[in-house]
Amino acid sequence: MASVRNVGLQSKRVIGLAAILLACACLGFALNAGDPADLVEHVEKVRTDGMTEAAREDLGVVASIRTGEKLLQFIEGETPGAYIRSYTATSCELPGTEHGRVAQLQAALLKTTREDRDALRAYADGDGSGFVSTAEAADFRDLIELGYLAAWMIDEHGASLDRIATASSLSREETEAKIARYNDVAKRLNAATRHRMPVIRPDADG
C-alpha cells in the first residue's frame, strides 16, 4: 500500500546548483571575474529575488492557489483516511473560446500570482534573515496546504482533529501545532492582502 506523502513537497530538493546559489547569496560569496556568465547571472537573480530557485517555485505554487490560478484538490489515497494533493490549472482554453481573450486573462492572472508570490516572501522567511531558503519555502508551502486540507475536511466531512492528523500523516499533537501556526499566518495574510485564506475553526477538533 502506498504511503501518503505531501505531493510536490520538495524540502529535500537541494541539488548542486541550488546549493551553490544559496551559499553565494547567504554567505556573501564573491564571484570572480573568470566565473561562467550563467553562474553570475543566476547568483545575481537569487540575490535580487531574495530566495532560492526552489523557494521561488514553492512560493509560486502557494500564490497560484491563493489567486485561483491553480485549484488545490484532495483525492483519497489507498490508505484509508489519507489524501493526496492534486493541482489543476484553472485557465485552460475551452473549445469555442476566443484565444486572444484567454491569453489576456492568463497573463493578468500570472501577473497577480507573481505579485502575491513576492508578498509571501516575508511570511515564509522563518528566521527573519531577509532571504527565503529552500527548506523555509517548502515548510511554508506544506503548512499552507495542510491548512487548506483541514478546512476542506471540516467543510466536507465535519472532520475531527484526529481525522485531519490521519489525512496529513502526522500525530495529533503535530497537527494541532501546525493548525495553530497556519491560523496565525492566515489571519495576518487576510489582514494584509486581498487574497483570502480559510481560517480553521477553534472547535475543529470536536
- Which pLDDT score, from 0 to 100, does residue 26 have? 46
Instruction: Please classify residue 133 by burial: count the beta carbons closer than 10 Å to its beta carbon, then call 0-12 exposed, 13-18 middle and 19+ buried.
Output: buried
- Which pLDDT score, from 0 to 100, does residue 157 have? 85
- Which pLDDT score, from 0 to 100, does residue 39 have? 62
Question: Which of the two residues, 205 and 87, has the higher pLDDT score?
Answer: 87
Question: Which of the two residues, 105 and 31, has the higher pLDDT score?
Answer: 105
Average pLDDT over residues 138-156: 96
- Which pLDDT score, from 0 to 100, does residue 40 have? 60
The one-letter amino acid code at 69 reads E
In this predicted model, what pLDDT tens digit does every residue of 38-73 receive, in sequence order?
Answer: 666 666 777 777 999 999 999 999 999 999 999 999
d(CA 50, CA 64): 19
Average pLDDT over residues 157-184: 93
User: Residues 6 or more apart from 82 whose CB is under 8 A from it?
Assistant: 4, 76, 166, 167, 169
